[in-house]
Chains A and B, each alone.
Chain A
Amino acid sequence: MMLSFIARRLAIAIPTIFLVSVFVFFLQKLLPGDPALILAGEERDPETLAFIREKYHLNEPILTQYLYWVSGMLRGDFGISLRTNQPVLELIGEKLPVTIQLAVMAMVIAMIIGIPAGILSAVRKGTAVDYTANIIALSGLSIPNFWLGIMLIMLVSVHLGWLPASGYESPFVDPIRSLETMIMPAFVLGTALAATLMRHTRSAMLGVLRTDYVRTARAKGLQEKVVVLKHAFRNALLPIVTLSALLFGELLAGAVLTEQIFTIPGFGKLIVDAVFTRDYAVVQGVVMCTAVGFILMNLVADVLYFLLNPRMRTAL
């Protein structure tokens, strides 16, 4: 049962990943002009150009080019960065832990703010508390987070001098310093997610609070706190857990700008630097890895949902 469910999900995930690879491959065909000239950079020497054409199979039909590219990727060869001469996959592996640290801290901040705010606003629906929480959430969604970052740097780093404005330190080298440099970026990234999380928690809670079993729990005289947290919230948690997987994409996209502002050497800064140095293999590698990561996260979320929710098993 479980296996056939996973097999069915995989049957959808694999063609999706195949299509992603087709899109990412064709990105490079959008480049105006001769790709060999672009890959050569400053170099205009005909021999170099011929070498590049040979190496990247640019003289072959497009389908063959794609097959070379995709079979390379399957072997873990995403190409070489033009800027650093490192294999793309190695470069991504170096930068990813930094972004994961940022993302995890941001997610924790988002949950600490978003989930209680969502519960409160659902329980107090239609009151001033609910309206205030909604207005704050909508504002959180409307503030460009890179601007919030700039404002925080001006206030916290420049005026108050409390936290460093930029830089990065690994938590394994100096945990305190690492926290100091990461807390502000994580807050900036976390607030946007907190808003989304709050809105979803609110609607999930509203749905659950209307159910019969919550009414029963109240009717048998349980304390409101117990009803809300034990009976309602536990059941509302399911859609919230699944949402977290979907927020992964939003986190990565937000990290691009956050890392840029706080000069954090992560995954997001990697793609932006690659764009400006026309390091196309890196851009393609980053997009490909992000998409595959997102698809796998969704797969995991689906399986979790299946495991956590007994009703799903009979629904299939």
Chain B
Amino acid sequence: MTAAADLPAALSDEQPRAGNRAWKKLRANKSAFVGFLLVVFFVSIAALAPLLPIADPTATDWGAIRKGPSAAHWLGTDELGRDILSRMIWGAQASLLAGVVSVLIAVSVGVPFGLVAGYFGGWIDQVISRATDALLATPFLILAIALAAFLGPSLTNAMIAIGLSAMPIFVRLTRGEVLAVKMEDYVEGAHAIGLSTPTLLARYILPNVFAPILVQATLTIATAIIAEASLSFLGLGQQPPAPSWGSMLNVAKNFMTQAPWMAMWPGIAIFLVVLGFNLLGDGLRDALDPRET
């Protein structure tokens, strides 16, 4: 990119063109498109859950306990006679919400810290970077388990725990990107014409470090969904009777011989939605990389 010459254009029509090009590249990438479709599918069923003609996910039926798939219950019933299809669809809401909200927490806390550390350097950078190292030293899931344990088990606390555990990745990523960008001529230029630091950060630095953050966020949603399922599986996330894929698996493991279908569906759903976000994230990385043609 010839930064100096493009400076005015960068603000007007260069951005949508870059976006368009990325979208075209994404469309052309078959596996990324499959990922996109998977994500759209799960987001739609989660969003439409209240409107779909399905059973109440918490309604028990003592006459239909642990029945295999049938016309009445397409995916079978669980140990309390609840309809598994309906619990799967409502469970999608919990999983996706947990994935997206925890990543939003991670991004909204992590990115500002990374911006500040990378832009100002010096002792601020030292403090932020050492704190980030300290958080990264604890494995993601163990930190999330410890936080969820001290905060108390609930879906909200699981999201906070996952978000805080994922946050240091964004601090480190943003810091690294800012270090690269702040030496560019257009940043020097903006500085020279006397723009205030917040304006400079918001208008010149942030948009130029946005792409890798978006890619990382997409991939982290995948990790966060697995983390939520893991916490709920351990009993530290979604609490009964509200459904989530992880808590459904937690119950299902007690009925492996009598009702194997109970363990099948939630696992397949987690696999597909996580695969979707991983494919989409990999595709976005390729599409947003200006070096590749």
Task: List residues of A whose CB falls within 8 A of some B CB.
Answer: 12, 15-17, 19-20, 22-23, 27-28, 30-32, 138-139, 141-144, 146-147, 150-151, 153-154, 158, 249-250, 252-254, 256-257, 260-261, 271-272, 274-276, 280, 283-284, 286-287, 290-292, 294-295
Knowing A146-B249, A253-B140, A294-B137, the reply to whether A16 touches B147 (Cβ < 8 A) is: no
Contact in complex: B263, A31 (CB < 8 Å): no
Contact in complex: B150, A28 (CB < 8 Å): yes
Besides A249-B140, A275-B145, A275-B234, 4 new A-B residue pairs in contact (Cβ under 8 A), listed by A number:
A144-B270, A151-B267, A275-B236, A294-B138
Whether B120 is near chain A, meaning CB under 8 Å from some CB there, is no
Query: Nearest Cβ in chain A — how far from B263, in angstroms?
Result: 5
Task: List the 3 shortest-distance A-B pairs measured between CB atoms, nearest first.
Answer: A147-B267, A19-B134, A253-B141
**Looking at the complex, which one of B142, B229, B252, B275 makes contact with A256 (CB distance below 8 Å)?**
B142
Contact in complex: B146, A287 (CB < 8 Å): yes
Knowing A146-B249, A147-B263, A158-B256, the reply to whether A252 touches B139 (Cβ < 8 A) is: yes
Contacts of A17 in B (CB 8 A): 134
Contact in complex: A291, B256 (CB < 8 Å): no
Contact in complex: A12, B133 (CB < 8 Å): yes
Task: Tell me, in angstroms, the Cα distance from A296 to B17 when the chains sit together.
Answer: 47
Knowing A16-B134, A23-B135, A30-B147, the reply to whether A144 touches B234 (Cβ < 8 A) is: no
Task: Tell me, in angstroms, the Cα distance from A291 to B138 when the chains sit together.
Answer: 5
Nearest-neighbor residue (CB-CB) of A141 within chain B? B278
Whether B230 is near chain A, meaning CB under 8 Å from some CB there, is yes
Task: Tell me, in angstroms, the Cα distance from A32 to B157 when the chains sit together.
Answer: 13
Among A253, A271, A295, residue most surrounded by chain B Cβ atoms (within 10 Å): A253
Nearest-neighbor residue (CB-CB) of A297 within chain B? B137
Task: Tell me, in angstroms, the Cα distance from A141 to B225 when the chains sit together.
Answer: 12
Knowing A20-B138, A28-B150, A250-B139, the reply to whether A142 touches B271 (Cβ < 8 A) is: yes
Nearest-neighbor residue (CB-CB) of B272 within chain A? A142
Contact in complex: A290, B150 (CB < 8 Å): no
Task: Tell me, in angstroms, the Cα distance from A138 to B235 when the chains sit together.
Answer: 27
Task: Tell me, in angstroms, the Cα distance from A139 to B267 when the chains sit together.
Answer: 13
Among B139, B252, B256, B257, residue most surrounded by chain A Cβ atoms (within 10 Å): B139
Contact in complex: A252, B142 (CB < 8 Å): yes
Task: List residues of B whose CB falls within 8 A of some A CB.
Answer: 130-131, 133-135, 137-143, 145-152, 222, 226, 229-230, 233-236, 249, 252-253, 256-257, 260, 263, 266-267, 270-271, 274-275, 278-279, 282
Nearest-neighbor residue (CB-CB) of B152 within chain A? A32
Among A20, A142, A158, A256, residue most surrounded by chain B Cβ atoms (within 10 Å): A142
Query: Nearest Cβ in chain A — how far from B250, in angstroms?
Result: 9
Could you show 29 A-B contacts with beta carbons less than 8 Å apart? A12-B130, A12-B133, A20-B138, A28-B150, A31-B150, A138-B282, A141-B274, A141-B278, A142-B222, A143-B274, A144-B226, A144-B229, A144-B230, A144-B270, A150-B256, A150-B263, A151-B263, A154-B257, A249-B138, A256-B141, A256-B234, A260-B233, A261-B253, A275-B145, A275-B234, A275-B236, A283-B149, A290-B139, A291-B137
Task: Tell me, in angstroms, the Cα distance from A138 to B35 when the chains sit together.
Answer: 12
Task: Tell me, in angstroms, the Cα distance from A303 to B252 when the chains sit together.
Answer: 46
Nearest-neighbor residue (CB-CB) of A13 within chain B? B133
Knowing A30-B151, A138-B279, A147-B249, the reply to whether A154 touches B263 (Cβ < 8 A) is: yes
Nearest-neighbor residue (CB-CB) of B126 within chain A? A15
Knowing A141-B278, A146-B249, A260-B234, the reply to whether A287 touches B143 (Cβ < 8 A) is: yes
Contacts of B234 in A (CB 8 A): 256-257, 260, 272, 275
Query: Nearest Cβ in chain B — how far from A26, in angstroms?
Result: 9
Contacts of B143 in A (CB 8 A): 287
**Looking at the complex, which one of A16, A142, A254, A283 makes contact with B278 (CB distance below 8 Å)?**
A142
Contacts of B260 in A (CB 8 A): 154
Task: Tell me, in angstroms, the Cα distance from A189 to B285 when the chains sit together.
Answer: 27
Task: Tell me, in angstroms, the Cα distance from A28 to B148 when the chains sit together.
Answer: 12
**Looking at the complex, which one of B130, B230, B279 makes contact with A15 (CB distance below 8 Å)?**
B130
Query: Nearest Cβ in chain A — how far from B169, in angstroms?
Result: 13
Contact in complex: B150, A27 (CB < 8 Å): yes
**Looking at the complex, which one of B135, B233, B278 makes contact with A257 (CB distance below 8 Å)?**
B233
Contacts of B230 in A (CB 8 A): 144, 146, 257
Contacts of A253 in B (CB 8 A): 139-142
Query: Nearest Cβ in chain B — how far from A308, in angstroms?
Result: 23
Contacts of B229 in A (CB 8 A): 144
Knowing A31-B150, A150-B249, A280-B150, the reply to whether A144 touches B135 (Cβ < 8 A) is: no
Task: Tell me, in angstroms, the Cα distance from A275 to B275 when the chains sit together.
Answer: 30
Nearest-neighbor residue (CB-CB) of A294 within chain B? B137
Query: Nearest Cβ in chain B — how far from A288, in angstroms?
Result: 9
Among B137, B151, B260, B274, residue most surrounded by chain A Cβ atoms (within 10 Å): B137
Task: Tell me, in angstroms, the Cα distance from A276 to B145 when the chains sit together.
Answer: 11
Query: Nearest Cβ in chain A — how far from B223, in angstroms?
Result: 9
Contacts of B271 in A (CB 8 A): 139, 142-144, 147
Contacts of A272 in B (CB 8 A): 145, 234
Task: Tell me, in angstroms, the Cα distance from A39 to B152 when the chains sit together.
Answer: 15
Contacts of A28 in B (CB 8 A): 150
